[in-house]
Amino acid sequence: MLKATKVRLYPTPEQELALAKSFGCARWYWNFALNACIQHYQETGKSLKLASYKGMLPQLKKEYPWLKENCYSSVLQCVAINLDRAYKNFFEGRAKFPNFKSKHHKQSIQYPQSVTVNGEYLKVPKIGEIKAIFHREVTGKIKTVTISKTSTDKYFASILCEVEGTDVKQSGDNIIGIDLGLKDFAITHNGENATKYANPKHLYRHQKNLARKQKKLSRKTKGSKSREKFRKIVAKVHEKITNSRQDFLHKLSRKLVNESQVIVVENLNVKGMVKNRKLSKAISDVGWGKFVNFIDYKLKQSNGELVEIDRFFPSSKTCSSCGHVLDGLSLDIREWDCPNCHTHHDRDENAALNIRNEGIRILTEGGGNLVFADGGCVRPPACKSKGHWSVNSEAYTALVGSV
């Protein structure tokens, strides 16, 4: 089972410089390889294989010695793997086309191994021992460490560990995906189990009460004393509903945040959905937007992380077992069988698990939403004009010649 710990890092000025160089190399190689993929496709109509652009690395390091000097080799390997995954996700309809990375956004690099925790320090190859604040002990085997720098110049490390499944319950290190439902309020998945949280029944009761009282109110003569009295009664019921909904959202978000270090949600366009009349009442009532806000600020207090995934991601109609994407899945279908691997799925549980997996993918790629932010079109990278990189390098020529 995977657990995540997010820690704030306090690098020295020298370490900041070393990190900046590593970020730069990873970004450069991502953009180089992405451009090579695009050019190769334009020239041959075929997509470039992972082994091809991974294979360019030794030659690139010869051509650009700073690549070798400034960046730990595994970091670049991770870039290649992440680009390959981004491409696959695009072709299989799970994500938008990968974007070029800019130095003006959040920066990140990923280490598949070799990072160790040493007391209050995180020991990172080529960077050194960086001072870190650990709010909880890092247990288990470190799988990946993603070091990022925010646009406000704060440094963080997301440490993903593999742990035995036993000590999960009492600790709050889970990574959970949440699918916000209509039948149930929310469905969570922690990678092993799904949990459904129903809409509170008393809310429904209050709602019926409100409808009854509003009807009575409408029958009262305008300007009459009893109408004024009833107006106040209705306002009170309204207040009660607002309070108990707020209370429910606070309690549930608190529970989930206590259990988790990372929470993955879909970035829903609630306004857009409310336009759909049929669903509008249920959606405005359950208060999704508010719920995500509550989770967000509570996670910030506990140093956790909210990962919002793209609405584009087809969480409901993707099979969480084999990745097969259905053509469509109407709202009334609550359970389905995958035509590819025959796994039986509960609609909402499958969606919550997919949301979690997608969150982990984004987390381990480090780029967060930026990887696919406003994707769909390919922008020329900012650094291209400065001649920092070009696919007309020897590595690329050698590669194309060999294909």
Q: CB-based contacts of 112: which residues, under 8 Å, 6+ apart?
A: 74, 77, 78, 143, 144
Stretch that binds Zn ion, among 35-43, 46-54, 201-209, 333-341 (CB under 5 A): 333-341
Strand blocks (E) in 181-253: 184-189, 194-198
Using the rule CB under 5 A, is 378 a contact of Zn ion? no
Using the rule CB under 5 A, is 68 a contact of Zn ion? no
Q: Is 266 designated active site?
A: yes
Minimum Å gap between C-beta 365 and Zn ion is: 23
Minimum Å gap between C-beta 91 and Zn ion is: 17
85 vs 317, which CB is nearer to Zn ion?
A: 317
Using the rule CB under 5 A, is 324 a contact of Zn ion? yes
Using the rule CB under 5 A, is 319 a contact of Zn ion? yes
What token pair was written down for 263? 């929470």
**Binding-site residue total for Zn ion (CB under 5 A)?**
7
Minimum Å gap between C-beta 361 and Zn ion is: 18
Based on C-alpha coordinates, what's the Rg of the chain? 25
First to last CA, the chain: 40
Residue with tokens 């000025």: 13
User: Binding residue for Zn ion (CB under 5 A) from 171, 321, 369, 393?
Assistant: 321
Using the rule CB under 5 A, is 340 a contact of Zn ion? yes
Residue type, 181: G
Note whether 146 and 157 are within 8 A (CB): yes
CA–CA gap between residue 322 and residue 341 (Å, rounded) = 7
Using the rule CB under 5 A, is 322 a contact of Zn ion? yes
Using the rule CB under 5 A, is 329 a contact of Zn ion? no
**CA distances, 55 to each of 23, 52, 60, 80 (Å):** 21, 5, 9, 10
> Comparing C-alpha atoms, which of 288, 281, 310, 280 is closest to residue 371?
310
Note whether 304 and 196 are within 8 A (CB): no
User: Binding residue for Zn ion (CB under 5 A) from 341, 373, 398, 403?
Assistant: 341
User: Binding residue for Zn ion (CB under 5 A) from 122, 264, 286, 338?
Assistant: 338
Minimum Å gap between C-beta 322 and Zn ion is: 3
**Which of these is catalytic: 348, 349, 358, 365?**
348
Q: Is 228 designated active site?
A: no
Q: By three-state DSSP, how is residue 156 classified?
A: strand
Note whether 34 and 83 are within 8 A (CB): yes
Using the rule CB under 5 A, is 267 a contact of Zn ion? no
Determine the angle formed by the axes of helices 394-402 and 13-44, rounding to 10 degrees.
40
Stretch that binds Zn ion, among 87-95, 105-113, 321-329, 361-369 (CB under 5 A): 321-329
CA–CA gap between residue 302 and residue 164 (Å, rounded) = 24
173 vs 179, which CB is nearer to Zn ion?
A: 179
**Which of these is catalytic: 173, 179, 305, 358?**
179
Q: Is 348 designated active site?
A: yes
Q: What angle do CA 162, 168, 172 make, to 5 degrees?
A: 100
What token pair was written down for 259? 């259990």
**Which of these is catalytic: 266, 310, 349, 358?**
266
59 vs 321, which CB is nearer to Zn ion?
A: 321
245 vs 345, which CB is nearer to Zn ion?
A: 345
220 vs 324, which CB is nearer to Zn ion?
A: 324
Minimum Å gap between C-beta 318 and Zn ion is: 9
Minimum Å gap between C-beta 213 and Zn ion is: 50
Residues near Zn ion (CB under 5 A) are 319, 321-322, 324, 338, 340-341
Instruction: Give catalytic residue positions.
Output: 179, 266, 348
